[in-house]
Structure 1
Amino acid sequence: MSRSASDPVPAGPPARFAVVANPENRRAALFADAVRAAGLPAPRIVPWERVLRSGGAEFAPDEIVRLDSPGENTDVDRLVRDMPDPTRVEGSARWYRRFVRAVRGLRGGVRLDDPGELAVLFDKRLCHAALAAADVPVPWSPTSGPDAVPVSGWDDVRAAMREHRMPRLFVKLAHGSSASGVLAVESSGRGRIRATTSVELAADGSLFNSLKVRRYEREQDIAAVVDALAPDGLHLERWLPKASQAGRAADLRVVVVAGRATHAVVRTSASPLTNLHLGGRRGDLDAVRDAVEAAGGRWTDVLAVCERAAACFPRTLCVGVDLLPAVGWRRFAVGEVNAFGDLLPRLTGLPGSGAEGLDTYAAQVTAALRHARPGTASAPSTGQWCLGRHADEEHHAQHPPCAEHHRHHQHRTGTTHVSA
């Protein structure tokens, strides 16, 4: 029988939550509000700064442990990147190593996030390869999978563009987030080239994150940016021409909780970068549904693509999937899967998702109480929440977890066709 967020929570002793977070951050406050709204005590907040300085943290066996983003805190950023200015782009490889080490140092409790899966989610090359191996549609990439090529600088990017006939591509930091270090590169047959990015190149060669999206049209400037990013690791993807809404490029952020697509928002932009903090705007989700159906597709199939992507990470309760609609709204590909992609304030659940009337945090609290609550039949014996054991069995029989799914499919990239 299918269960929804409105179903009764199993009886038992009151659940206790703990959150590894930056205490002052609104993410921690929003999740704490959701926990209290469920009639539970406020969660214990374990600061990231303490975890990083001490090399880990201990949790009681009955604590349900959530990890939240370590971002937007200058002291924490300095601990993980060793950069004097938090707006600097460089240092993401160091951030990745220290973040993964800190996560592996957390001990006890019932975890809603898995250290191994987080290590994949925060490496775009590994994440892309996992999705492609499971037959989840993704843009083609020369930097992931068994035939991945290293990229040590702009010369390698140029070579990949020629060899693989990629006049338009995205260059991404392997361990970046929030569009940091992302360049949308396009070239013409006449030798002209330009890159759209939020990276600001200083006179001394340093790179800074900016809220202003800019274009570089001199190849020497583009090369300088890419060469400075390369030591932290680069991921390349073919540029998928996206569908538009009201004349603006459009994509979707879909939040998947316990294997179900529960929340979705359309992001539109006049530039290739749709991130809301870079000038992107929320679009019309109803219009997207209408466009999909007018093209002969089904909205449920669109959401199923996101659920298949999330199923690649069965021991992580919640992920945010960036879904790229191709021109015409008939084909879709997964751009990225985000471990901390649930910050969508005041957005309530999709009709039929089981999270109607709930924001992303309330949906996660409800799912955690049902699937990971200590002392109930559905609680894991290993201290780790797992989709394959605790999520809606009826629903996921139709969309098997990634690890099982990829055994029966060949590695492929591209887009998936949704049809009636």
Structure 2
Amino acid sequence: MRLTVVGTPGDRRVTLFAAACARAGLAAPLVVPWRDVLGGRPLTVEGMLRIDSPGEDAEANALLRGPGDAARIGGGARWYRTFLDGLDRLRPYPSFADVGDIAVMFDKRASHARLAAAGVPVPPALGPVGGYAELRERMAETGFHRVFVKPAHGSSASGVIALQAAGGRIRAQTSAARDAEGWYNSLKVRAYTDEHEIALLVDALAPDGLHVERWFPKAALAGRVFDLRVVVVAGEPTHAVARTSRAPMTNLHLGGQRGDLAAVRAAIAWDAAMDVCARAAACFPNSTMVGVDLLVGVGMRGFAVAEVNAFGDLLPNLTGLPGTSAEGRDVYDAQVAAYLRTSGEVAVQG
């Protein structure tokens, strides 16, 4: 028995999934490069398909956004259109994740609306915002003095702005920086207090689409704000990481650190938190894995879903939560096991 991965050869996700297949007694998965999918080349697929991240493939990135520095910010609308075309090529094949679900998860406006319609707690959204002037108008109308401005089709917090404006003062925190070529992701969260500079950034991002929502004040752990990345496999929250930071963005690649999950579990209503994550994942019922970014409110009270992630399972060296079906297994082992349970197939070494 053999599975197929659409991804980037050599990418860590692909390697970890292949290792999980080997542990389950499956043959090494066939890898179909994203550049082949996006470039219209013939595809060879065997068995169930796992659709993974385009990753660090320079050729795939150029096909998605056009030529240029991979670290640049912008081009999200083109990226999304090209990505959807690639997903359409994969639609005929049975897959771990429904291509329609993936498409919605990569549109923050659509995913927020789907979650809200299902009663999943999410931060209130401001609605469409076409630029900085309109953003400030909408903030004044709603009374939202603190908001998160997110590129509609972004990932890894690229271009995300945590914006505060009150009493004539303004402050924006973001990993975006500017050089002679334009805005790029610096991988370092910095603060801007010059309104002209902030307006330039928002207006540079706006043509690709923006999703803006009220800032949800996060709880703190050992002096650092935190949230949770929870992986839901086959409807069950199986893996979780507490991500802590001194900045509003907790992403590990932006300087966030893994926190004390045991301390978080002891401090919050854990079962209620996991229920929120399961309900969020249930909004994407045809996807075996959904990564959920869960916000925990100040005082360890209240929850809200910040993001849902189609490729949110890159959590190496993490085993499943005690008492779950994934206890002792990593996120990829859990997904392979879920496939074997639902397919009714028996793995044979080969």
TM-score by length of 1: 0.80
Deviations 1:296-315 (A, max 9, x none): x3x11110100000000001
Corresponding position: 1:312 with 2:283: yes
Contact persistence 1:93–1:175 (CA under 8 A): yes
- The answer for the alignment partner of 2:161 in structure 1 is 183
- The answer for the alignment partner of 1:406 in structure 2 is none
Contact persistence 1:57–1:107 (CA under 8 A): no
Write out aligned runs for 1:263-302 (5 A). 263-292=239-268, 297=269, 299-302=270-273
Distance in 1 (CA, whole Å) between partners of 2:31 and 2:344 is 18
Distance in 2 (CA, whole Å) between partners of 1:216 and 1:117 is 36
Give the SS at the match of 1:288.
Answer: helix
Distance in 2 (CA, whole Å) between partners of 1:302 and 1:114 is 25
Unmatched runs of 5 consecutive residues or more in structure 1? 1-14, 144-149, 376-420
Distance in 1 (CA, whole Å) between partners of 2:143 and 2:235 is 36
Corresponding position: 1:209 with 2:185: yes
Runs of 4+ deviating beyond 4 Å: none
Give the SS at the match of 2:184.
Answer: strand
- The answer for the alignment partner of 2:306 in structure 1 is 335
Deviations 1:380-405 (A, max 9, x none): xxxxxxxxxxxxxxxxxxxxxxxxxx
Unmatched runs of 5 consecutive residues or more in structure 2? none
- The answer for the alignment partner of 1:200 in structure 2 is 177
Distance in 2 (CA, whole Å) between partners of 1:92 and 1:326 is 30
The one-letter amino acid paired with 1:265 is V
Write out aligned runs for 1:332-371 (5 A). 332-371=303-342
Deviations 1:16-44 (A, max 9, x none): 21000100211100000000111111000
Distance in 2 (CA, whole Å) between partners of 1:256 and 1:175 is 22
Figure out how many residues of one structure are paired with residues of the other and give that number. 347
Percent of aligned positions that are identical: 57
Deviations 1:22-76 (A, max 9, x none): 002111000000001111110000111111111673534xx01101100222111
- The answer for the alignment partner of 1:72 in structure 2 is 56
Give the SS at the match of 1:110.
Answer: coil
- The answer for the alignment partner of 2:123 in structure 1 is 139
The one-letter amino acid paired with 2:73 is V
- The answer for the alignment partner of 1:172 in structure 2 is 150
- The answer for the alignment partner of 2:6 in structure 1 is 20
TM-score by length of 2: 0.96
- The answer for the alignment partner of 2:232 in structure 1 is 256
- The answer for the alignment partner of 1:38 in structure 2 is 24
Corresponding position: 1:246 with 2:230: no
The one-letter amino acid paired with 2:227 is D
Distance in 2 (CA, whole Å) between partners of 1:212 and 1:79 is 27
Distance in 2 (CA, whole Å) between partners of 1:176 and 1:286 is 31
Deviations 1:228-286 (A, max 9, x none): 00011000010011000011110000000000000000000000010000000000111
- Larger Cα-atom Rg: 1
The one-letter amino acid paired with 1:218 is D
Distance in 2 (CA, whole Å) between partners of 1:236 and 1:107 is 31
